[in-house]
Amino acid sequence: MNIVVCVKQVPDTATERKLNAKDNTLDRDAADGVINELCEYAVEEALKIKEAHGGEVTVLTMGPDKATDTIRKALAMGADKAVHLVDDALHGSDALSTSYALAQTLKKIGFDLVILGSESTDARTGVLAAMLAERLGAPQLTLARKVEIDGSSITIERLTDYGFDRVQASLPAIVSVVEKINEPRYPSFKGIMAAKKKPVQTLGIADAEIDAAQVGLSGAWSEVADFAVAPPRAAGTIVKDEGDGGAKAAEYLASKKFI
């Protein structure tokens, strides 16, 4: 089985994240780049499926040169090879542009199964897997907390507000995973050493037959008009419980008309 995992490098949420005032895009130099947390769950699930059903796991990422760190992390976990879509023309792409660029690349490299994290910690749009399914005409099996494959049939448990739906489709398919699905493994020393020798193919937009007019800031379907750092929340009232903490809290809620 040819499994492709889409991963994204994002600014570390533990550091201060910024937009670039020049073009209102993410400032990638302001914070350390790390693999998006849910992408680790996607890589883990791909490795599990490979271990159970055989095949090969390819990591696909779109991002600047420094996204190679994220590729190495996924390879160290056990993925077999990687494709890095990197081109200055891609800078500033929105979700539609990104899904278009990734779909074109996926058509080029082929897949039986594409796995993604359900959202990234930076943009948090949560739309990419659905967009890839739409663009590739493949079944959408998103928000999975469990994935089962039987021959060419795939069944997932899709997280819903009331519990979950069991959803079935035929391969090839697009899957997105939630954090509940597994426990991502840590790369072993052996894995880290082996990752250095694994093949990483670098593609530009021409290689992936991506139309420059549909990507980047100028090709995007939406744009950020302006932004402002949110004013910090005003310091609140902090009291120590002296046995009447609950009653005091009730008074506060009453003063705000919540009760």
Residue 106 token pair: 């996926």
Q: Does 7 bind other proteins (CB under 8 A)?
A: no
Beta bridge partners of 215: none
2 versus 214: smaller Cβ distance to other proteins = 214
Q: Are 77 and 21 in contact (CB under 8 A)?
A: no
- Inter-CA distances, 127 with 75, 135, 140, Å: 25, 12, 11
What tokens does 219 get?
A: 């090709």
Q: Which of residues 56-115 bind other proteins (CB under 8 A)?
A: 94-96, 99
Region 159-188 residues binding other proteins, contact defined as CB under 8 A: 159-170, 173, 178-180
Peptide bond into 172 cis (omega under 30): yes
CB closer to other proteins out of 28 and 84: 28
158 binds other proteins (CB under 8 A): yes
Nearest distance in Å: CB 210, other proteins: 15
Rule CB under 8 A: say whether 21 interacts with other proteins. no
Cβ closest to other proteins, residue 86 vs residue 143: 143
Which residue, 78 or 184, is less far from other proteins as judged by CB? Answer: 184
Q: Cα separation of 140 and 153, whole Å?
A: 13
Residues in the chain: 259
- Closest approach of Cβ 85 to other proteins, in Å? 19
Instruction: Answer yes or no whether residue 137 interacts with other proteins by CB under 8 A.
Output: yes
Per CB under 8 A, the list member of 60, 133, 144, 203 interacting with other proteins is 133
Interface with other proteins, residue 217, by CB under 8 A? no
The answer to whether the Cα torsion of 187, 40, 183, 199 is positive or negative is: negative
| 239 near other proteins (CB under 8 A) | yes
Distance (Å, rounded) from C-alpha 215 to C-alpha 30? 23
